[in-house]
Amino acid sequence: MLSKRGAERLTGIMLGVSVFLMLAHVAADVALGHGRVSVVLILLYGFPAGLAGSALYITFRRHDPTLAMFSGFCFAGHGLLMVLTAVVLLVGLRFPDEFALYGAEPNSLTGMASSLELTMDKIGKTAFASLGLGLNLFGLLILMSGALPRWIGWLGFSVGISGFVVSLAGLTDLFVRATTELMVGITTLASLVFMLILGLCLAFREIQEARESQTAYG
């Protein structure tokens, strides 16, 4: 059975792996286009991201079990939805004639393909809305419990609520597509920065606790 310290380190590692895989997906998109490599990286990202939600709950439940449960559930749900998105994309790439995804001309899409592409888009945006809500709740948990420095809590709270609102705007087609994609890109990058900072804090938390102890008693 993992110790408390081991669970914190494992959580930090899973967050770091998730960030690495998402950055690799973005790089593959830029270098190779929307292809099988990019989609497989989304699939690989979804598993550690989903597991990180459960690990974050285990790590933070002693501070606030209710907030930890809801935020962990949102984070895990994000990972599972990303896996589902990747599966849908792989189906489309496996059967390009039947499911004309990624760059096909709109007037060449069959009714089934159009429906699949719309479903894929909605699932992806729902996944990032779930991530935004999860990060927002984790930020709130950190602010309320003092488990980590308050600036990390404020960062998570701000990034999370921004990502959640932007994702909802995308789901409701509130803005034109180009504007929505730009805002999603910015909030996704901010979310990855927060996830990386949180992962590093958990991986090296003994040092942080020692410093807090020295400050408190020094």
pLDDT per residue as tens digits for the range 188-200: 889 999 999 999 9
Report pLDDT digits (tens) over 19-40: 999 999 888 887 876 678 888 8
pTM above 0.85, yes or no: no
Residue 5 pLDDT > 90: no
- Which residue range(s) make up the domain with 54? 4-217
Count of structural domains within the chain:
1
The pLDDT value given to residue 207: 38
Distance of CA 147 to the CA centre of its chain: 21
Residue 74 pLDDT > 70: yes
Burial of 121-143, coded b for 16+ CB within 10 Å and e otherwise, reads eebbbbbbbbbbbbbbbbbbbbb
Q: Between 55 and 120, whose confidence is greater?
A: 55
CA 133, 23, 113, 83 dihedral sign is negative
Mean model confidence pLDDT for the chain = 78
Could you write out the three-class secondary structure of 169-187? HHHCCCCCHHHHHHHHHHH
**Who contacts 72 (Cβ-Cβ below 8 Å, separation ≥6)?**
53, 54, 56, 57, 60, 134
Residue in this structure with the two tokens 């939805």, named with its chain if needed: 81
